Amino acid sequence: MSTDARPGRASAARLRPRTIALYAIGSLGTGGYATLPGLVLTYFLTDNLGVSALAAGLIVTAAKIWDVVIDPLIGAASDRQLARTGSRRGFMIAGAATLPLFFALTFAVPPTWGPAAGALCVLLAFLATATAFSLFQVPYVALPAELTDSYDERTRLLGWRVVVLTAAILLFGAGGPELRGAGGDQVIGYLVMGVAAGLAIGLGMYVASKTADAAATRIAPAAAAEHPAGIREQYASGFRALRRSQPFRALLATFLLQALATGTMLAGAQYVATWVLRSEDAVTLVFLALVGPALLATPGWTAIARRSGKERAFRVASVVFAIAAASITAAVWMPGAWIYASVAVAGIAYAGLQSLPMAMLPDVIAHDERAHTPGQAGTFTGVWTAGETVGFALGATFVSLTLAATGYVSTVAGAATQQPDAAITGIVLSFSILPALLMMASLATLARYRLRRSDIDA
């Protein structure tokens, strides 16, 4: 076990590079799962299986609602597992072992089954995928609060995690569509993409699970009785965490709105590539423009946070992202390659939007534990992950509703079609002004976040 952990409490000493590396590799899994379904799943349903845009949005939303239902339960169960065994690793291993199969099945449905049967099969496979991912993600997000007590070490830990996360977004966001089209047959291409991506995601999750032992707080087994066992009480535990922690409410509301904003852009990227930039393969360039700058910008946001505080750096990143997204509105009248420049500026801000709130969450948990029972990080992260899921789910739903309202024409693989001008306008607005407005709204909730460095390192 790493010397980073001490009995009963995590160490405030500097984290070992090995611990940081193992934890960061987990973002290969989280980045892949968050990126690829959000990028291609709605498009897979509408333009490969012939499912209507509205129905496609409902499928994605239903799977995410399932996440919201189970995440608080997994969080409470992870806390009990930590109390019994001293580690959260068991759930993480279960998720890593089962996700590759379910992820591949999600993209294995052929168009010949028809829109109705295809939609049902995708829904069931994606529900199973979401369950497997939550088994890993909820305890994974809880670990930073248990790895170190240091305000700046958490920023360092999560900064490196976001470096890997942005690399994963590049790998899956750019490589996934390329892999899909490599074989020439779109149906086989989706299947190959699903198998390869599922295996890569599962591998990253498995490697990161080793960090759970270093994060163990060695709570006595008898303390397991203090954690709620009934389903009703597990949900109540999450609501109590929300009610008693004002910083948690403010940070969660901010992150939810921002997940909605970025989820909207993510779900609309493929449509922008196909119908605004007039190339289905242009989605690769969109992701290069987004993720390339983000890889370089993450250390910069870490440095700004050390100098001025996480909450101030977070505010700056939010404003920059909103301005960059709003500028893309001009593509309604002047579509062109200039869009990549606006996306690149958003990518610089996106690095901060990922690393800073995730580094603030362990501070919130540690602040709460000083006045209440330790070992409840899973309860917080279960609620947090559910909120994040709601944001990304509704992002895809907003895009689907916009497409449906503006007359978007769905089709099956290989069939040619044209979109009405109103649908093209709807695609641009869902990729620009809508996420910009959501990002600006998040500044109001961020203003209510009152924890500062002195509150954490006191």
- Indicate if the pLDDT at residue 224 is higher than 70: no
β-partners of residue 412 are 49
pLDDT at 375: 59
What are φ and ψ of residue 416, in 5° steps?
A: -90, 145
Angstrom CA distances, 139 to 80, 94, 126, 181, 314, stand at 11, 12, 21, 35, 24
Tens digits of residue pLDDT in 32-67? 887 788 778 878 888 778 888 778 878 877 877 888
Angstrom CA distances, 403 to 209, 395, 397, stand at 39, 13, 10
pLDDT band for position 132 (50/70/90)? very high
Ordered DSSP codes for 276-291: ISS-TTHHHHHHHHHH
Mean pLDDT of 304-321: 92
User: Could you tell me which residue, 382 or 231, shows the higher pLDDT?
Assistant: 382
Contacts of 227 (CB under 8 A, 6+ apart): 76, 79, 80, 83, 237, 375, 376
Contact 412, 50 (CB under 8 A): yes
State the burial class of residue 125 (Cβ atoms within 10 Å of its Cβ: 0-12, 13-18, 19+). buried
- Indicate if the pLDDT at residue 196 is higher than 60: yes
pLDDT band for position 81 (50/70/90)? confident
Contact 136, 291 (CB under 8 A): no
Structure tokens that stand for 174 in this block = 């750019």
How far apart are alpha carbons 302 and 279 in whole angstroms?
36
β-partners of residue 10 are 5
Coil/strand/helix, residue 414: coil
- Indicate if the pLDDT at residue 5 is higher than 60: no
Mean pLDDT of 344-355: 89
How far apart are alpha carbons 191 and 169 in whole angstroms?
20
Tens digits of residue pLDDT in 379-430? 788 888 777 777 776 777 788 788 888 888 766 555 557 778 888 888 888 8
Contacts of 297 (CB under 8 A, 6+ apart): 347, 348, 349, 351, 352
Helix (H) or strand (E) holding 168: helix 151-182
pLDDT at 230: 61
Lowest mean pLDDT among 61-70, 132-141, 171-180, 261-270: 171-180
pLDDT at 131: 93
pLDDT at 215: 59
Lowest mean pLDDT among 111-115, 356-360, 435-439: 111-115
**High-pLDDT (> 70) share of the chain, %:** 86
pLDDT at 78: 85
How far apart are alpha carbons 177 and 292 in whole angstroms?
17
User: Could you tell me which residue, 375 or 105, shows the higher pLDDT?
Assistant: 105
How far apart are alpha carbons 370 and 382 in whole angstroms?
20
pLDDT at 9: 46
Mean pLDDT of 115-124: 89
How far apart are alpha carbons 176 and 174 in whole angstroms?
6
Mean pLDDT of the chain: 81
pLDDT at 221: 43
How many helices (H) and strands (E) in the chain? 16, 2
Structure tokens that stand for 206 in this block = 């498995």
First vs last Cα of the chain: how many Å apart? 28
How far apart are alpha carbons 234 and 74 in whole angstroms?
9
pLDDT at 374: 62
pLDDT at 211: 85
| Number of other residues whose CB lies within 10 A of the CB of residue 17 | 9
**High-pLDDT (> 90) share of the chain, %:** 21
- Mind listing the domains of the chain with CATH numbers? 14-220+229-456 (1.20.1250.20)
pLDDT at 420: 81
pLDDT band for position 4 (50/70/90)? very low
Q: Say which amino acid occupies 267.
A: A
pLDDT at 222: 40
User: Could you tell me which residue, 216 or 302, shows the higher pLDDT?
Assistant: 302
pLDDT at 228: 52
Tens digits of residue pLDDT in 92-116? 999 999 999 999 999 988 888 888 8
